[in-house]
Amino acid sequence: MSTLHQEHPAHAHAHGPACGHTEVPHGDHVDYAHDGHLHREHSGHWDECETTGHTAHEGHEHQHGETCGHARVRHGDHVDYLHDGHRHAAHDGHWDDH
């Protein structure tokens, strides 16, 4: 699964550990959840961190929901759940790895 390089223009806010936005571990970097987007620093600017393709999280029996205990992060038109270093999103009866 690769990540698109989609710059978030005119993003004056500097994300970091004390910025108030949820930190989301994502592979070799940290994304910051901000207004339904996931931002990552890249070469001195902020990118929308969106993966390409569709990757189902195989063998995921746990059902996420409001009371499951995992942090929820709004992501576009849905909610991702932070679980064991992954973002899980419901998709066609299974969970996707974002």
- Model pLDDT, residue 6: 63
Which 8-state DSSP code applies to residue 23? E
Domain limits, the chain: 6-97
What does 52-84 look like in DSSP terms, one character per residue? Answer: -S--B-TT------TTSSS-EEEETTEEEEEET
Percent of the chain with pLDDT over 70: 84
- Model pLDDT, residue 1: 46
Question: Tokens 């709004």, residue?
Answer: 74
Rounded CA separation 85/28 (Å): 11
Of 98, 59, 56, 58, residue with least CA distance to 81:
98
Q: What is the pLDDT of residues 3-49, one digit of tens each?
A: 555 666 666 778 888 888 888 887 788 888 887 778 888 788 888 77
Rounded CA separation 16/84 (Å): 21
Mean pLDDT of 70-83: 83
